[in-house]
Amino acid sequence: MTTLTSKKPIPSKEEKRDYYHGLPSAPSLVARSDAAETEWEYRGDNLWYVPSKKLVPVGRHPIVDAINNTSLRDDVMEILDSRLPGWNCMDVVRIGLSFGPKPVILWIGVHPGSTTSELGLEVA
């Protein structure tokens, strides 16, 4: 098996804590595949300055059909099973700032403390 080397930045402790601010389950960020393209900006410890995220329905989108109706789902699950033992859910969702666009993402949930950001980036 080939080991991938990620050039994407490891999230800071503030990004891990605040990236999903506003979501009801208050998840912590482990890693995100777009970290090199979309930089996260720390806005201080005062939560009045941390922008809130929101979950919205995906609706019709090609990735939904791909994940639900092809072998792509099985391929992704095989990678997760072999490389990310703490994973516990996978879903296609729209998450974004409350006041802005909400991109479609493949959300991989992990049990708290079950993995590192380095491994999360490698798997992503």
- pLDDT tens digits, one per residue of 15-30: 899 889 899 988 999 9
Query: 2 exposed, middle or buried (CB, 10 Å; 0-12, 13-18, 19+)?
Result: exposed
- pLDDT tens digits, one per residue of 67-117: 887 788 999 999 999 999 899 999 999 998 888 889 999 999 999 999 999
The structure's pTM equals 0.79
Reduce the secondary structure of 65-119 to three states and give it as a string: HHHHHCCHHHHHHHHHHHHCCCEEEEEEEEEEECCCCCCEEEEEEECCCCCCHHH
**Token pair listed for 36:** 């090199």
